[in-house]
Amino acid sequence: MTAQPPIRALALDTATSAVVTGVVELRDEGPVTLAERIVTDQRRHAEVLTTLMRDVLAEAGVAGDALDAVVVGCGPGPFTGLRVGMATGAAYADALGLPAYGVYTLDAIDRGTPAPEAGTRLVLTDARRREVYWALYEAGRRVAGPAVDSPDTLVAELAGRTLSDVVGESRFTERFGAAGADLVTPTPASLVAVAAERLTARAPAEPLTPLYLRRPDAVELKDQKRKSLLPSATHE
**CATH number, position 64:** 3.30.420.40
Please tell me the least confidently modeled range out of 3-7, 160-164, 190-194.
Answer: 3-7
pLDDT tens for each residue of 129-171 = 899 999 999 999 999 999 999 999 999 999 989 999 999 999 9
The beta strand positions in 60-207, using DSSP E, are 69-73, 100-103, 121-128, 131-138, 141-149, 165-167
Q: Are residues 23 and 98 in the same domain?
A: yes
Position 189 scores a pLDDT of: 98
Q: How far apart are CA 120 and CA 134, in angstroms?
A: 13
Position 47 scores a pLDDT of: 78
Boundaries of domain holding 125: 113-176
pLDDT tens for each residue of 60-108 = 999 999 999 999 999 999 998 899 999 999 999 999 999 999 999 999 9
Q: Are residues 75 and 46 in the same domain?
A: yes
Q: Three-state SS for 100? A: strand
> Is the pLDDT higher at 221 or at 92?
92
- State the angle between helix axes of 45-60 and 79-96 in degrees (0 to 180), rounded to the nearest 10: 40
Check: CB of residue 125 under 8 Å from CB of residue 132.
Answer: yes
Q: Are residues 48 and 72 in the same domain?
A: yes
